Amino acid sequence: MGLCPKGSEGATYSMLTTFGNIALVVASSMGSWCAKIWDVSNDALRSHDLEGLWKLALLTSILPIFPLVFLRLLPKDQIQQKKLQQNKDRSLLGGVIFLFVLVTSLVMVMVNAVVILRAQDGGRRGEVAVAIEGAAIEGATGVFHGWPCRSKNVVLLA
């Protein structure tokens, strides 16, 4: 059974790789958002507050089953696949959905990256406190996640 039309193997592979890579980042971002919605911090778990944990565990157990709904969209056999490959009609809706998912995912990843960078430096570029083994150094300078830093109180971890 062929997975793509002859001659477009490279484009198909790059499309699948792109979606796979974006899916990893989007999944990480969504996981972080869910962890903020339901408190699953170490403090909550230490205080035996498991309210958010069971909800997050339930969600992460159900989500992997969701793609099974789309299995019916795949060709049933090789004959049906050959018919689809020979059909020259193209779906405008499919193309629009593809581009919408791609662009939305990229925008979501970029917005999440900006939020993380702002949170790491407290919204002020260059003033970052880094904790490393409790040793404080006054007026230390350096690079933190690619950003030049000068802080009055940088703590270095060993």
Structure-block tokens of residue 23: 């899916």
3 confidence band (pLDDT: 50, 70, 90): low
Give pLDDT tens digits for 8-63: 888 888 888 888 888 888 888 788 888 888 888 888 888 888 888 888 889 888 98
Range of the domain at 137: 126-158
Whether residues 134 and 82 share a domain: the answer is no
pLDDT at position 135 is: 42
pLDDT digits (tens, 9 = 90+) for 77-112: 888 888 887 887 877 888 898 889 888 888 887 887
Distance CA 2, CA 74 (A): 12
Model confidence band, residue 121 (pLDDT cutoffs 50, 70, 90): low
- Structural domain count, the chain: 2
Residue 2 included in any domain: no
Do residues 114 and 130 both lie within one domain? no
Residue 3 lies in a domain: no
Residue with tokens 């830093």: 149
Separation CA 153–CA 139 (nearest Å): 7
Q: Is residue 154 classed exposed, middle or buried when 0-12, 13-18 and 19+ CB atoms within 10 A define those classes? A: buried
